[in-house]
Structure 1
Amino acid sequence: MATSGHTIKAFDEDLAELRALVAEMGGLAEAAIDEAVKALVRRDLDAAARIVDEDRRIDAMEADLELRAVRLIALRAPLADDLREVLAALKIANVIERIGDYAKNIAKRVPLLHDVRDIDPMAILPPMGRAVSEMIHDVLDAYAARDADMAVEISRRDQLVDDLYNSLFRALLTYMMENPSNIGASTHLLFIAKNLERIGDHATNIAEMIYFAATGTQLTERPRGADPIAPIED
């Protein structure tokens, strides 16, 4: 870490608190993704309601971190590498809050599918959930270790999530064409799949922030395939 006019020990302690908050937020978001997909598969309304309610905790932690980061910048006047660290924590916390929102959105769909019979393409959703959850877990490890190489590797995994999403999209399209009565439930599953795909995108965004914080240079963006449908926001 670059040294500057601020007191190094005090700055390091404040920055450690920011990192700890980011890690805790990330852990909650990762758990929310796992539990939301499980609640969907099991049609567990109580679990879905808990996920929606607990998202408030992630929101409150992001607000706390933002206040801490602003205070740290004002009091310590960090420069260069130090400032990049603080800004990275601030931006990553914002992305994690959005990831929590996507998990909440998935949970909100569970009651709408409670009485729907199993749909074969739905089997693709648990692997998608595992893939994005692992990306979140590993990108938080990369953040804690300030590991630029690991960040690059994680960003490349987003292609698997995109491939799973595209497979589900095609399967559900066929499913709806074969029987129009499946359109309602299939549309809900598309919303859920899109939320998972966006979580993968956000994990990639975090990886790019980690790379910049560690190296001071931007991670070259890889080409992305065409998206069958526009991003979905609830």
Structure 2
Amino acid sequence: MTSQHTLQVYDEDLERLRAHVSQMAALADEELADAVRALVERDSALAESVVQRDRTLDAMEAEGERKAIEIIALRAPVADDLREIMAIVKIINALERVGDYAKNIAKRTTVLIGTLPDAPSQLLPVLAEEVRGMLAQVIDAFIGRDTKAAVAVWQSDAKVDALYTSLFRELLTYMVENPRRITAATHLLFIAKNLERVGDQATNIAELVYFMVEGEQLPDERPKSDESAVITAPGDEGDGEH
């Protein structure tokens, strides 16, 4: 009876830890959505609320890590359970990073309001929706222990990279056409990079889900389509040696 009770308590502890991941994911997604909406709608109050809310996500990261350590110390999990707990700790860390990216977007938005171009890139909301979709899908994969869905998220990172590259080209052209736009466009470039990094975190979580379930790593090299490092400004291509 005692062993059955202990096993039940252990299962309940694990379930609470899984639920903690879902709660963190929901909060991170909400922060990200509100940060982008604040940018599009030029809403400084909403942007500031995102900055403040990130403290909650930071606290949840610490609480999740504490719960995981407690389970390891008290229950001495092995094999699959230990692998899952270690993966969860890393997933919690990744979700906290998503919150940091949302906070950074919100902070830049408060600086940009009043100086934003009349029509900021329409690709920014598209990129945001893409990475939010990846995040939702990978958390579903985690909850359902669905490696097929995790691999699909892992592969979709190439689409995010392609969107980011297109956005990078657009903003670079925007700066070249009018140097007075450089400051605003530079902030938008950093915002776009933060969104692209959210996609990277979703991909990292996908790798963790796969490892958690299968006990082995996905291939080291995932599909990448970020060509921003080799893009030159219009008129700067040249035909000589580089």
Name the TM tier (shorter chain). over 0.9
Q: Does the CA-based 8 Å contact 1:176-1:183 persist in structure 2?
A: yes
Aligned residue for 2:121, secondary structure, equals: helix
Q: Does the CA-based 8 Å contact 2:17-2:68 persist in structure 1?
A: yes
Matches within 5 A, 1:13-32: 13-32=12-31
Matches within 5 A, 1:218-233: 218-220=217-219, 221-226=221-226, 228-229=228-229
Q: Does the CA-based 8 Å contact 2:165-2:226 persist in structure 1?
A: no
Tell me the equivalent position of 2:64: 65
Cα distance in 2 between the residues matched to 1:5 and 1:72 = 17
Larger Rg belongs to:
2
Cα distance in 1 between the residues matched to 2:153 and 2:50 = 26
Aligned pair count? 227
- Kindly tell me: are residues 209 and 5 of structure 1, through their superposed partners in 2, closer, same or farther at Cα, counting changes over 3 Å? farther
Residue 7 of structure 1 deviates from its aligned partner by 3.6
Matches within 5 A, 1:136-147: 136-147=135-146
Q: Pairwise CA RMSD of aligned residues?
A: 1.9
Tell me the equivalent position of 1:202: 201
Tell me which amino acid in the other structure corresponds to 1:65: G
Task: Provide structure 2 residue ranges, at least 5 long, that are not aligned to the other structure.
Answer: 230-242
Q: Does the CA-based 8 Å contact 1:36-1:48 persist in structure 2?
A: yes
Residue 156 of structure 1 deviates from its aligned partner by 1.2
- Kindly tell me: are residues 6 and 79 of structure 1, through their superposed partners in 2, closer, same or farther at Cα, counting changes over 3 Å? farther
Matches within 5 A, 1:170-189: 170-189=169-188
Cα distance in 2 between the residues matched to 1:100 and 1:117 = 23
Residue 175 of structure 1 deviates from its aligned partner by 1.2
Tell me the equivalent position of 2:77: 78
The percentage of counterpart residues that share the same residue type is 53
Tell me which amino acid in the other structure corresponds to 2:7: I
Cα distance in 1 between the residues matched to 2:70 and 2:145 = 23
Residue 85 of structure 1 deviates from its aligned partner by 0.9
* CA shift digits 1:161-198 (9 cap, x unpaired): 11111001111111111111111000000000000000
- Kindly tell me: are residues 58 and 65 of structure 1, through their superposed partners in 2, closer, same or farther at Cα, counting changes over 3 Å? same
Q: Does the CA-based 8 Å contact 2:138-2:202 persist in structure 1?
A: yes
Tell me which amino acid in the other structure corresponds to 2:60: M
Cα distance in 1 between the residues matched to 2:103 and 2:12 = 33
Cα distance in 1 between the residues matched to 2:223 and 2:139 = 24
Cα distance in 2 between the residues matched to 1:188 and 1:112 = 9
- Kindly tell me: are residues 119 and 200 of structure 1, through their superposed partners in 2, closer, same or farther at Cα, counting changes over 3 Å? farther
Q: Does the CA-based 8 Å contact 2:162-2:225 persist in structure 1?
A: no
Cα distance in 1 between the residues matched to 2:227 and 2:201 = 16
Q: Does the CA-based 8 Å contact 1:66-1:90 persist in structure 2?
A: yes
Tell me the equivalent position of 2:98: 99
Q: Does the CA-based 8 Å contact 2:157-2:224 persist in structure 1?
A: no
2:206 aligned with 1:211: no
Tell me the equivalent position of 1:34: 33
